[in-house]
Amino acid sequence: MTDWDLAIFIIFMRSLAEIHEALVHPGLIAVVRANRRDQVIPLTQALLNGGIRAIEITLTTPDAIAAIREACQVFGSTALIGVGTVLDATTAHAAMDAGAEFVVSPITKSEIAQAARSRNRLVMLGAFTPTEAQTAYEAGADFIKLFPAEGLGSSYIKSLRAPLPHLRIVPTGGVDLTTIKSFFDVGCPAVGLGSSLITAQILEENDWLALTERARTLIRALDPVTKPQH
């Protein structure tokens, strides 16, 4: 971590409780797989303009660590910047050095949870089955990323949480305007939004106004939803 990175971290460092609060209100996590590093700043601004502040910059984005650092420097405490598609502790630490406040993995790997916990950052581990979800929980995950959620739907999460109500499930994939309310209805504290929010066309055309409008539409879809406390 450079002196500049350390200064940014100290100035804008949130507590774990504050990170949790920012993530679940309104509970929409934008999963960013940008085509280029230089798209991340205008893309993040467009999402903020539309009411979404939790931004998960995946490692599939070119120069993702540098993009995370730049986003943290530009947006400071305005956005909640995290890292996604993390597969090991070394990469998690590199992203956290750059300023990432939450760490997301599509898999269950205890070393990732341990890395995040050692830095007082929020961590979300991936799972698909009840056994994987419970294993992720026992490994120290704050949230369980249900991935891929396509084809499972909210009924699967309702069934999963019946015997395992302590699990805080965040579905990613299969979440759009037609399904989003159903996930909150069954107790999900948040959802991950990838291509249903940040479409290939938006990225191809750099159409940030369209992205802002899509974000606003999703926020409006949550207006009648009374979310449970988590």
- Give catalytic residue positions: 56, 145
Q: What does the DSSP 8-state code read for residue 128?
A: S
* Distance separating alpha carbons of residues 104 and 74, to the nearest angstrom: 22
Identify residue 134 by its one-letter amino acid code: Q
Query: Rounded to an integer, what is the distance from CA 67 to the centroid of its chain?
Result: 16
Q: What does the DSSP 8-state code read for residue 198?
A: S
Q: Which sign, positive or negative, has the C-alpha torsion 10, 22, 91, 139?
A: positive
Other CB atoms within 10 A of residue 160 CB? 21
Render the burial of 38-77: b for 16+ CB within 10 Å, e for the rest. Answer: ebbbebbbbbbebbbbbbbbbbebeebbebbbbbbbebee
